């Protein structure tokens, strides 16, 4: 099953809803044709280039600063040809560039335009030829001023019949997709229907666009809606539309395959990226795994189990090898509780930890309760004894033992804080590691000697704190969190090239430059910054996780003014900024230099647990539109955690799903959010 990532208009800045065509440059940046702008996507961030839209044609050129600038060619058209409307496609060949409108072709060659008005047409590219079909005419191939008839057949001369898709096969034959007659095979100048598994579909849907993918499959955009993917022999591989949840919008306008092999579908409401990874299968409510977030997976006695928000699921076996294959599906185990967070194998039995209980799934397939808990986050059965288990809960670690009467509580592990025990891990040498909300604990090999039930209340091993609590930060949000309260305005760039472009456009007072960035690394970026007019003395502070002195010297030699190691030490960064700007820090709360005043209670207040759970579900489902609607409703209703809601809304607006998950994960670590 393919993986689908949807991008709606609000994801790319609420520009026009329709997208029509796409192309990728050598750096990997994606360019998408919109009505009034060109959308660009670097894998992280959407940006826009204003080009004029309707009745505009031109070229995007390198601006010398890592960006692109638009140069209009409209004035090169004859005065009477400048009202051409929308351009839907563009094709580049050795003999020129062809811009396709609804009824005309603008051919750019020899530094000038030639325009041909043809009527309703469709165009494709095969080799170094433009394949053109005009209603009621033969199929033609253009190579500059040279034109040839590819095939002239009665099926192509019907007024309601266009060739909307054309591709060449390795054997020299062509495959043609038509608006009314499905797929055809062209060989030796003869046109014959191509048998597929989609004849029923073609009787009710027309082919709007098509694309031959690099693995030999064919993707077809259908009208009135849907994406059909056929295998090399014409067999149906996939069908995605709005009804089956595969696409968020029915109307398809174009198709493009990027260098990574992903298929981009240009839609009436945004666009979608589709991938078919060989080693990944997606499971959702379409194949039985309903209920939102999945917390844990475990293969037990040959069956894959999933602990999810909706309950416990098991993957059904496929049919035997002699029967036709069916798509694998999950089924819910009857009687399972909601919000299953942890799974562990204990011999023939499966331990299941949830928000209310630890349960056991027996060999008979039935669930039975073991103990009541307050949020079981983790389960571990030590490798040396399948009759003992540890349950990490909201209030510590509970010891479970199995005897002839079944599983029961044998007390708690001593020497631990009364804290949320999130993960339990046994290393190869028998040591046990436990991560809690704010701490990391470790036990030596003595943890093998687990206590008998009567002595369970004592310490089972010499626990010792191995790491002090770390301050929680949101990746790149560390700098805004530190500097914005001090009066700095922060503008972030996703890569080195974007940084150079931002500096050229906005002229900041100082640049905090990460030395490890995509596109351009920090050393390359600072060289380009120093080459910008007026930026010779722009303060640049290098940021790097390297602790080696030679890296610091390299950064200073490359043109940086200072070096601050990562993770960022606040006092070191503030001291650097003090020297650059000649500042004297005056902290309102009387804190010693280098410390940042603590946030107010309102700033750190988190939403109610029910609100956090709802936000979690929306982010897990990838429904950023629904997330922003939920946030807007919460802010309008004056719900608790307004600053947190606004922070999530900013991340959602930038489609920063990884940061959204990180921020929500951090919120769940705070016991106030759960209590």
Of 160, 161, 134, 162, which is closest to residue 147 (Cα–Cα)?
Answer: 134
Please enumerate in sequence order all residues whose Cβ is within 8 A of that of 485, keeping only pairs 6 or more positions apart, or say none: 596, 597
DSSP per-residue codes, 470-531: PPP--GGGHHHHHHGGGTPPP---SSHHHHHHHHHHH--S-EEEESS-SSS-HHHHHHHHHH
pLDDT at 550 over 60: no
The pLDDT tens digits of the residues spanning 564-593 come to: 876 676 778 888 888 888 877 664 444 444
In contact, 175 and 183? CB cutoff 8 Å: yes
pLDDT at 455 over 50: no
Mean local confidence (pLDDT), 333-350 = 89
3-275 under CATH 2.40.128.20, yes or no: no
Q: How many residues are present in the chain?
A: 675
Please enumerate in sequence order all residues whose Cβ is within 8 A of that of 127, keeping only pairs 6 or more positions apart, or say none: 168
- Cα–Cα distance between 303 and 300 in angstroms, integer? 5
DSSP 632: H
The pLDDT tens digits of the residues spanning 353-379 come to: 998 889 999 888 889 888 888 789 999
pLDDT of residue 31: 95
Name which CATH class applies to 475-597. Answer: alpha beta
**Annotation: CATH topology of 285-467:** Methylamine Dehydrogenase; Chain H (2.130.10)
pLDDT band at 472 (very low <50, low <70, confident <90, very high): very low
**Paired strand residues for 63:** none
Please enumerate in sequence order all residues whose Cβ is within 8 A of that of 124, keeping only pairs 6 or more positions apart, or say none: 130, 131, 163, 165, 166, 167
The pLDDT tens digits of the residues spanning 254-277 come to: 999 999 889 999 999 999 999 876
Q: How far, in Å, are 542, 589, 643 from residue 600 at the CA level?
A: 31, 12, 11
Angle CA 177–183–189, to nearest 5: 85
SS3 track for 140-201: EEEECCEEEEEECCHHHCCCCCCEEEEEECCCCCEEEEECCCEEEEEECCEEEECCCCCHHH
CB neighbours (10 Å) of residue 438? 15
In contact, 580 and 510? CB cutoff 8 Å: yes
In contact, 74 and 82? CB cutoff 8 Å: yes
Say whether the peptide bond before residue 224 is cis (omega within 30 degrees of 0): yes
The pLDDT tens digits of the residues spanning 3-29 come to: 888 999 989 988 889 998 999 988 889
Q: Is 622 exposed, middle or buried (0-12, 13-18, 19+ CB in 10 A)?
A: middle
pLDDT at 614 over 50: yes
Mean local confidence (pLDDT), 407-416 = 81
The pLDDT tens digits of the residues spanning 490-535 come to: 888 878 888 999 898 888 889 998 887 778 888 888 889 988 888 8
Q: Is the model more confident about 211 or about 238?
A: 211
pLDDT of residue 446: 30
pLDDT at 621 over 70: no
Alpha-carbon dihedral angle through residues 57, 60, 61, 65, given to the nearest 10 degrees: 140
The pLDDT tens digits of the residues spanning 45-94 come to: 899 988 877 899 999 888 777 778 889 999 999 999 999 998 989 999 99
The pLDDT tens digits of the residues spanning 221-245 come to: 998 888 999 988 888 888 888 776 6
């Amino acid at each position: 099953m393919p993986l689908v990532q949807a991008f709606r208009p609000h994801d790319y800045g609420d520009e026009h809803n329709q997208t029509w065509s796409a192309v990728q440059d050598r750096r990997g940046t994606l360019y998408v044709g919109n009505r009034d702008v060109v959308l660009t996507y670097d894998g992280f961030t959407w940006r826009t280039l204003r080009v004029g839209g309707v009745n505009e044609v031109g070229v995007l050129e390198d601006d010398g600063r890592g960006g692109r600038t638009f140069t209009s060619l409209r004035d090169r058209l004859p005065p009477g040809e400048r009202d051409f409307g929308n351009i839907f496609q563009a094709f580049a060949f050795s003999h020129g560039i062809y811009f396709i409108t609804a009824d005309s072709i603008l051919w750019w060659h020899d530094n000038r335009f030639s325009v041909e008005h043809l009527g309703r047409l469709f165009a494709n590219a095969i080799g170094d030829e433009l394949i053109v079909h005009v209603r009621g005419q033969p199929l033609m191939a253009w190579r500059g001023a040279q034109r040839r008839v590819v095939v002239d057949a009665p099926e192509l001369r019907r007024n309601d019949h266009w060739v909307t898709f054309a591709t060449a096969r390795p054997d020299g034959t062509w495959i043609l997709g038509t608006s009314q007659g499905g797929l055809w095979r062209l060989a030796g100048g003869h046109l014959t229907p191509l048998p597929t598994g989609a004849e029923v579909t073609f009787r009710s849907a027309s082919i709007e666009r098509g694309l031959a993918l690099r693995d030999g499959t064919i993707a077809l955009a259908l009208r009135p809606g849907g994406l059909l993917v056929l295998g090399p022999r014409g067999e149906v591989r996939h069908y995605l539309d709005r009804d089956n949840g595969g696409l968020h919008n029915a109307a398809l306008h174009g198709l493009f395959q990027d260098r990574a092999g992903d298929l981009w579908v240009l839609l009436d409401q945004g666009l979608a990226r589709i991938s078919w990874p060989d080693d990944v299968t997606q499971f959702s409510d379409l194949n039985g795994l309903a209920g939102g977030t999945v917390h844990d997976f475990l293969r037990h006695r040959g069956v894959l189990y999933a602990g999810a928000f909706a309950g416990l699921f098991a993957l059904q076996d496929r049919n035997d090898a002699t029967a036709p294959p069916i798509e694998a599906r999950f089924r819910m185990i009857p009687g399972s509780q909601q919000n299953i967070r942890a799974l562990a194998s204990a011999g023939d039995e499966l331990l299941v930890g949830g928000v209310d209980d630890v349960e056991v799934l027996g060999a008979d397939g039935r669930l039975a309760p073991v103990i009541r808990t307050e949020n079981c986050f983790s389960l571990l059965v030590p490798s040396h004894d399948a009759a003992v288990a540890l349950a990490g809960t909201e209030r510590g670690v509970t010891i479970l033992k199995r005897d002839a009467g079944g599983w029961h509580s044998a007390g708690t592990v001593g020497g631990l804080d009364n804290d949320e025990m999130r993960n339990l891990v046994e290393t190869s040498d028998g040591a046990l590691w436990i991560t809690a909300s704010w701490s990391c604990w470790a036990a030596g090999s003595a943890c093998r000697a687990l206590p008998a039930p009567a002595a369970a209340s004592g310490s089972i091993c010499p626990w010792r704190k191995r790491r002090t609590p770390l301050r929680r930060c949101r990746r790149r949000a560390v700098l805004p969190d530190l500097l914005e309260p001090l009066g700095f305005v922060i503008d972030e760039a996703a890569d080195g090239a974007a940084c150079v472009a931002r500096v050229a456009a906005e002229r900041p007072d100082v640049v905090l430059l990460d030395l490890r960035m995509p596109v351009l690394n920090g050393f390359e970026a600072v060289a380009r910054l120093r080459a910008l007019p007026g930026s010779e003395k722009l303060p640049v502070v290098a940021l790097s996780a390297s602790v080696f002195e030679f890296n610091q010297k390299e950064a200073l030699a490359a043109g940086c003014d200072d070096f601050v190691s990562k993770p960022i030490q606040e006092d070191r960064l503030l001291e650097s900024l003090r020297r650059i700007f000649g500042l004297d820090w005056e902290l309102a709360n009387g804190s010693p230099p280098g410390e940042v005043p603590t946030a107010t209670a309102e700033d750190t207040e988190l939403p109610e647990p029910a609100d956090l759970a709802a936000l979690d579900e929306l982010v897990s489902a990838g429904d950023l539109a629904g997330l922003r609607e939920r946030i807007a409703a919460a802010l309008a209703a004056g719900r608790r955690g307004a600053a947190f809601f606004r922070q999530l809304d900013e991340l959602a607006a930038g489609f920063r799903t990884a940061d959204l998950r990180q921020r929500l994960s951090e919120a769940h670590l705070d016991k106030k959010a759960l209590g």
